[in-house]
Structure formats: structure tokens, C-alpha cells
Amino acid sequence: RKEVEQDPGPFNVPEGATVAFNCTYSNSASQSFFWYRQDCRKEPKLLMSVYSSGNEDGRFTAQLNRASQYISLLIRDSKLSDSATYLCVVNGGGTSYGKLTFGQGTILTVHP
Amino acid sequence: SAVISQKPSRDICQRGTSLTIQCQVDSQVTMMFWYRQQPGQSLTLIATANQGSEATYESGFVIDKFPISRPNLTFSTLTVSNMSPEDSSIYLCSVQENYNSPLHFGNGTRLTVT
């Protein structure tokens, strides 16, 4: 099982749609979780951290389910500018403490 | 968050040569890392750049191929040695405030080896 696994997509949605991505992780001792956005030919940029209680930032909502070992990202009212690759990142626990592991990314395309 | 400047932003190199990538941060940071992103792939950690001591390399990466310097808390270099076309990739410098913090990345170096 991969340490961090995402559905690679691609997801093709119309403007205004709601889209959700899931990401599973294998290390139950993982401590912190993040979603990054990467535009084509650019470096990854932090979209949001994921907290145990769930958190929201405008149209974006992130949730963590420790029991099932997955995190999710929900994007409401999609915009054309949301088209990008979304990377799930997990900070490992135990012997991997401090090491961040990246998922393979989920490609989102929002079309008019 | 810290401003991270990486150069060169891109380069085309011949096989057998070496390229040194520089990473400059506008503030002192404890943790600096070098990642690689091969075409169509996600990010893979090459090594942790340790200030004043040898870098800590991940499995599959060795010092002879990817020597790293970290002379102080604001600067690091990564050298890609004796390059082959398989080294064509994006190389990214990143920093982290503490173990539970997110990473912040430099703009990356796009390397093509012919």
C-alpha cells in the first residue's frame, strides 16, 4: 500500500460544480496533513492545512478522518482558475516523524 | 512565510556535466530540503540539508550524485553530478519551520539533460 494515495483523476467539472477529492494514508501515527495546489510548470503552493476538527477557507473545506485514515478536500462553486493539480501531503509519524510524503496528485479541470 | 529564491530557473545541460542549483531564503530557517519532481510524477524527497554537517539522503539518493552544501541557515546548494537524461526533472528547494509545519517551496529549477 502506498504511503499516501490519491485518485489521479482527471476530474472534469463545469463551472459552479462541487467537487471532492479523497486521499488515504497508511501511517496511523501521522501527525499533520496538508493540501497543496500545483499549477502547470509551477512549484506546489500550500492551499490549506487539515485539522482534526475540519476547517474551511472560503469555497474550500478540508476534513480529516483518523479512524479511516483519509483526508478530503471539497471545492464548492468551482471556478476556471481552480484548474490545477491538487496534492495531498502527510507528515509521517513514528520513525517517519517530520518527513512529508506527497500523494501523486489529482488533476482538476474546470470548464465553462 | 519565507521568501525562497532558487536559481537557475531552468537549464539545458549535456550528459556527463554537472549543475549546481542555489537556494536562498530571506530569513533563517532550521529545516531545508531538496525535492525532485520527474515529468508527470509527484514530489520525491532527495535529502535534508543540514547546516554545518553532511546532508541526510533518502533511499535511492547518494552524496556522490547529489552533493549538497548548507553553509548557513539561509542558503543551500544542490549539485546534480555526471548528468544523464534520466536526471531531467524539476528540482525544488523547500523550507519548514518545524516538524508539524507545512513546506514552502522555491520556484524550482527545470533541468533538461540532452
Which residues in A lie closer than 8 A to residue B105 (C-beta atoms)?
A: 43-45
Instruction: Select from B3, B22, B19, B96 the least CA-distant residue to B65.
Output: B19
Least Cα separation, residue B64 to chain A (angstroms)? 23
pLDDT tens sequence for chain A (112 residues): 778 999 888 999 999 999 999 999 998 888 889 999 999 989 999 999 998 888 999 999 999 999 999 999 999 999 999 999 999 999 875 555 567 889 999 999 999 9
- State the best of A25, A43, A47, A52 to mutate against chain B, taking most chain B CBs within 10 Å: A43
Q: Which residue of B has its CA nearest to A39?
A: B107
**pLDDT tens, residue by residue, B50-88:** 998 899 999 999 999 999 999 999 999 999 999 999 999
Instruction: Give DSSP secondary structure letters for A36-82.
Output: EEE-TTS--EEEEEE-TT-EEETTEEEEEETTTTEEEEEE-S--GGG
Closest CB to B42 among A41, A98, A102: A102
